Structure formats: structure tokens, C-alpha cells
Amino acid sequence: MAKAVKQNYTLKELDIMSIDEAQKLPFSARDKLLDLLLAESKKVGGKQPARQVGLMCDWFEEDIARLQKIKAIKICCGGFIPVDSSGEVPTLDPKGQFKLVFDNVKRAIGKAGSNMNRIVNCLIFMKNIDYWGQMNEVYRKYIKCSPTRAAIGCQDLNKTYQIEIVNLVAYKVAK
């Protein structure tokens, strides 16, 4: 009878492994370890105002040694804008644009081999910061991992964009 391969490791178990041992773990085990590592690396410095809880953390501690052990790769993304597959802005409605831009982020992160729960940083520009609450409603449906982030009002966004997301960073595990 073949011996079952362990799939669920703890970060403490990872810490005592050599790089070679850790990198020989099955992809699925390293993938689960990445989720544990990212969750532990997001820090909150004190009591957050209720309006921020679940939206963001104060800082992210990038543990290079552990990331290297599991063959984690950083994904740095450029700007995401509220355009559809034709390259057009299909709606001027802010909430519609917020949904579209997060759909675009989700699609790109997926193509890169990661997912929305592995985002560790993003910077959100909004044409009208008065829509911050509406943007957060949409944001919460897509991003549940509390990355470091900022939302900044910027009246000079390009064209008719109500939102642009830049400097988005996520992680994935190499095959």
C-alpha cells in the first residue's frame, strides 16, 4: 500500500525544513503554505476604525526566506481601468465602473496564476472620493484578504474613468 503524502503543513514545520526539502513538497502543499504565510504577514498596528475593518491592513511583512522555500513568486501589476473587452468604458455609473475594474483585476490575477485572496497591496484612485463607501461595497465582494491599500481622490483620472487601481501586488507558487 502506498504511503499517503502529507498535504497540510504548518508554518512551524516549514521553518524547520531546508529549502530543498520545502521545494520538494507537492505543489498543493506549497500552495496551502502560501495562504498561511500571507495571512500571517498582514499586520494591523492597533484598533482600526470600524469603516476600515476587513478592507486593509497597516503593513505587510514580506518573509523572503519562507517565500523562497515554497517557491513563491511576486506578481506586480500595472493599472486597471474600467473598460470592457472592446476597450471601451461601457458605463459612466461609478458603481458599474467599480465592478468592472474589479472584474478586470480578478481576470488578470487569475491569468497570472493567482487569486484575489493573495493580493497584498493596491492603490486605488477615484475621480470622486465621495463614492468611497460605494467602492468599498464592491471591493468587499472581491477582496476579502485585507491587503495594504489606499484610496485616493484624483479628479484628473483619464477620460471618463471613475476609478483606477495601480501598484497591485499579489503572490503565487511556482509549479
Residue 4 has a pLDDT of: 59
Strand partners, 74: 171
Sheet holding 163-173, edge to edge: 72-77, 163-173, 119-126, 148-153
Q: Residue 158: its pLDDT value, please?
A: 86
Q: What is the pLDDT of residue 5?
A: 65
CATH architecture of the domain 11-173 equals 2-Layer Sandwich (3.30)
pLDDT of residue 100: 97
* The predicted structure's pLDDT at residue 1: 56
What residues pair up with 173 in beta bridges, in sequence order?
72
Return the biggest CA–CA distance within the chain.
66
Tens-binned pLDDT, residue by residue, of the chain (175 aa) = 555 567 799 999 999 999 999 999 999 999 999 999 999 999 988 887 777 777 888 999 999 999 999 999 999 998 999 999 999 999 999 999 999 999 999 999 999 999 999 999 999 999 999 999 999 999 999 999 999 999 999 998 887 999 999 999 999 999 9
Which of the 8 DSSP states describes residue 56?
-
pTM above 0.95, yes or no: no
